[in-house]
Structure 1
């Protein structure tokens, strides 16, 4: 599934790695151009939270399935999102509805690692008590909100129902 997603992203014209020509393990908040181009960035926390959510939803819907079967379902969902997220329609939506005016989409490398990070969250949620997973999700959301003025909650809100006051606040 990951290889198919990568092939689709290549066919869509996504760059394999950052146009800068190198790969970083972590892209700091100050490197706006490198965001979503390397292995991890502040949005990595959102993908880990995707894993938490996918674990719980797939557990509720498919309790008789093994954790590995549910993980495959989570990979399918995340891979589909990565393709959709890098479509011109969603990229343009980010540009018009959020502060991501210069957003150009993810590199293929970043999309592959977004799936890896989602799986980290999925297996974390499988092994940890629910309350620990919820506390970690809240911590990640608050940390990203504090550092980059964005997180999964605001990202979804701004894509679905943009709020001008939030956009202004995020712009600093």
Structure 2
């Protein structure tokens, strides 16, 4: 597959994901009417509505993990095809994450009581940040990627009392002690 075709397919997957999210009733940008590059406040309504937030670190880690997984499973395929596979998985997660079943699960099982889902802008940005992580893992030595992933997890844990590990735990198997600790 040519590089141009890979880029075109990747862009097409982003457009398709945006169309699906819009058809699900997701808002294009923050209901506040503004677009912020970074929103540092994680516990207010505008979180997950802008380009980047503390959960962006988790999406970069997704890229690290997808690179490693698809290197193991699809090692004989070109890196562009593995990246497309990663886009498909991340896009599927963005669609599922913004479905009523997962939004309701976040509200009942985590500290995200007021969570209403992501804007389409935020979902598209999450996919792009996953690709940044994928590219980084492709280019850097494994140990650098692992150390950075751990640092990202620890930073998010310190700043917002949440990270990819706790997010998955609380979605799959909520622990009251963790929820209480996260609530401060």
TM-score by length of 1: 0.99
TM-superposed deviation, 1:5: 0.7
Structure 1 Cα separation of the partners of residues 18 and 46 of structure 2: 19
TM-superposed deviation, 1:48: 0.1
1:80 is aligned, of 67, 89, 92, to 92
State yes or no: 1:27 paired with 2:51: no
Contact kept in structure 2, 1:29 and 1:147, CA below 8 Å: no
Contact kept in structure 1, 2:42 and 2:53, CA below 8 Å: no
SS of 2:181's equivalent in the other structure is: helix
1:45-60 matches, within 5 Å, as: 45-60=57-72
1:87-166 matches, within 5 Å, as: 87-166=99-178
Contact kept in structure 1, 2:137 and 2:145, CA below 8 Å: yes
State yes or no: 1:42 paired with 2:42: no
TM-superposed deviation, 1:29: 2.3
Number of paired residues?
A: 172
Structure 2 Cα separation of the partners of residues 30 and 78 of structure 1: 21
Structure 2 Cα separation of the partners of residues 85 and 42 of structure 1: 17
TM-superposed deviation, 1:34: 1.4
- Ranges of 4+ aligned residues in structure 1 off by more than 6 Å: none
Partner of 1:14: 26
Structure 2 Cα separation of the partners of residues 31 and 57 of structure 1: 32
Judge which range, 126-135 or 24-33, deviates more: 24-33
Structure 2 Cα separation of the partners of residues 159 and 82 of structure 1: 15
Give unmatched runs, 5+ long, in structure 1. Answer: none
Give the aligned CA root-mean-square deviation in angstroms. 0.8
TM-superposed deviation, 1:33: 1.5
Partner of 1:170: 182
State yes or no: 1:66 paired with 2:78: yes
Structure 2 Cα separation of the partners of residues 119 and 92 of structure 1: 27
